[in-house]
Structure 1
Amino acid sequence: MTRAKKVKQERRAQATPPPRPPRWRAGWLLPVAGVVAAILAGVLFWQTSRDREVAASEDGPVHVHGLGIDPADGVLFIATHAGLFRIGTGEDKAIRVGDRHQDTMGFTIVGPHRFLGSGHPDLQEMRDEGLPSRLGLIESTDAGASWQPISLSGEADFHVLRSAGQRVYGYDASNDRLLESADSGRTWRQLGQPGSIFDVAPDPSDSQRLVAVAGSEAEQGLYESRDAGRSWSRLGEQIALLAWPTPTRLYLLDGNGFVSRSPDGGRTFEPRGQLGGQPAALLAHGPEELYAALHDGTIKRSTDGGATWVTRSTP
């Protein structure tokens, strides 16, 4: 029996894990009135579709949470609900990295072959290795082939991870808190936050400045902090994925696939183009090169700041 078949059988036999808070970006804007329904729907989704996702993920990525490019070789990595995938230069199909099927909710690449992640272990791995249901912050130093716990194991479930040098920013959805680490995730301090965080982006030229999108109904919109997250002021009503590669290039990608760009850190925006599908993740690789994942696992690429897009790979 292959490991893939064994994994699927084990998943059917395992009990459903405890419910966890809804992932804002998976359903985009969820009003407060819908949060309870979203939690229940999330539990049902886990029960009814986990086997289907694992089966589909044997052929390619589904339910994408994050993207990153390894500076060592330019390989594009795709973090998903059922493991990590990669697309090499010149390739058009994603292949699985290693044999892990962990739900990698948060993902960022911080150096050559060095990745940070978070989320939930595969059910078989949780049983066989005694892993907690919340992985906390985990690290790979071999381009995703293996992972080691770094901090907050069993405590945190980062749905958003962003890095800027040695600094790491993470939104722990299990505890509704925005955290910052100045030592690559070994220790953390809690920041202020404008609401439940949908996405966050650090200013690439100013360590004191952050931009965040709040997804909770009362506070929803785009915010900035100029004091390293201690306080926040509202910039607008946008609900979008963020990417901030250079000081004059802050990208927003909304739930309808429209791309806009700000030259001044979120005060003004210009429309760029349309993705052509509902986005699940956004990555900027330099000032003009963008990658976006659609909810069906399709990966698209733009080389002109989001004005036009081509398909990089299909699931």
Structure 2
Amino acid sequence: MKRALMISLLVLATLLTVPATAGATALTWRSLPTGTDAQFRGLSAVSRHVAWVSGTRGTVLRTVDAGRTWQQVGPPDTAALDFRDIEAFDANTAVALSIGEGESSRIYRTTDAGRTWTETFRNTEPTAFYNCLAFWDSRNGLAVGDPVAGEFRVLATSDGGRTWERVTGLPPALAGEYQFSASGQCVTVAGRKDAWIATGGSTVARVLHTGDRGRTWTAAQTPLASSESAGVFAVAFRSPRTGIAIGGDFATPANGADALALSHDGGATWREPVTAPAGYRSAVAYHPFLPTVLFAVGPTGSDVSLDGGRNWRQFHDGSFDSVDCTRDGACWASGARGAVGALTLG
């Protein structure tokens, strides 16, 4: 197994370091037409065959044939909602989150491939705004939202999203601090109990961490730029110790300064890498088989790192909002104007 992984990494490294020539093989995103112009910030890839995307105008699409065809399976009467995140467990079961103040923030659940949906949460606080979902397994997960009166809004489920309970005891929010719902990755999980929440909007960008499924939390400052339009947009962890925070300033998308940091102690401390992507990036994912390989996407391009995030190289100049890799080795991306891509060498 180790030999196969090393060979795969060597092949990928060679393809990325050898200059592209006419007819040469290169890493890229293969376009998978969806037949819609909705913006898909929500993406949950189950396998190389099955994926779900969610976005504007109440749109939720599902494929079971590697993106050759897509079915519109969104909840009925939700055309006014923006589904910024979706978490799918298989071809039939998914939980989708719509964003917005007040009752626009809702959670829906399906167990029959989107033929029917159950609304399992509707926000009743006028100024609360939920942003992202993440699940440890098919039963246990979190939904996270912006602060109200200085307290972050976090919900927990232990029954697969059928019911939700408020989580309290998070560190107080800083003035102006909030989360970004740019990719569904402002919260991530690893292992059985660890979770991290990304923030921005204030004078510093932070990452909040729990090691006990939300009972207790700590906060750590990152070196990422932070302002009303800047901060940590996405977090990903390969293990409870090793992770990445990525973002930047969406108001200046070509500026990649102070937009990425790495942690090797569970998010307690963060350090900037040797090089970083050339612009703001809204999402990041670890390759499932190659532990030092990561992919990042944003409006000005996609980048890959072969050394755990220390150095980066752009391989695609198109726009995507989210990226997700599956246990069987497939990586998917989604974005504006109905864009969905599958990572390929070609």
TM-score after normalising by structure 2 = 0.55
Cα pair distance change 1:246/1:114, threshold 3 Å: farther
Cα pair distance change 1:107/1:245, threshold 3 Å: farther
2:298 to 294, 301, 311: 294
Greater RCO structure (CA 8 Å; 6+ sep): 2
Q: Is residue 216 of structure 2 the alignment partner of residue 230 of structure 1?
A: yes
Q: Distance in 2 between matches of 1:77 and 1:276?
A: 29
Shift of 1:237: 4.2
8 Å Cα contact 1:135-1:149 kept in structure 2? no
1:168 to 141, 146, 153: 141
The correspondence of residues 1-315 of structure 1 with structure 2, limited to 5 A, is 59-62=36-39, 64-71=40-47, 73-82=48-57, 83-85=59-61, 97-98=72-73, 101=79, 102-119=81-98, 133-134=103-104, 136-144=106-114, 146-152=116-122, 158-165=130-137, 166-173=139-146, 176-185=152-161, 186-194=163-171, 195=173, 196-198=177-179, 199-202=186-189, 204-207=190-193, 209-217=194-202, 220-226=205-211, 228-238=214-224, 239-240=231-232, 241-255=234-248, 256=255, 258-266=259-267, 267-269=269-271, 271=273, 274-284=276-286, 286=288, 287-288=291-292, 290=294, 292-295=296-299, 300=302, 302=304, 304=306, 305=308, 307-311=312-316, 315=339
Measured against aligned partners, the alpha-carbon deviations of 1:124-149 in whole angstroms (never above 9, x if no partner) come to xxxxxxxx943521113345565321
Q: Distance in 1 between matches of 2:51 and 2:245?
A: 20
- Give percent identity, aligned residues only: 18
Q: Which stretch of structure 1 is more off in the superposition, 156-165 or 277-286?
A: 277-286
8 Å Cα contact 1:263-1:269 kept in structure 2? no
Aligned residues: 242
8 Å Cα contact 1:253-1:259 kept in structure 2? yes
Shift of 1:283: 4.1
8 Å Cα contact 1:110-1:163 kept in structure 2? no
Shift of 1:247: 3.0
Shift of 1:116: 1.2
Cα pair distance change 1:205/1:174, threshold 3 Å: closer
Measured against aligned partners, the alpha-carbon deviations of 1:247-281 in whole angstroms (never above 9, x if no partner) come to 34312222255544333222244627544543334
Q: Say which SS state the counterpart of residue 104 (structure 2) adopts.
A: coil
Cα pair distance change 1:182/1:134, threshold 3 Å: same
8 Å Cα contact 1:162-1:170 kept in structure 2? yes
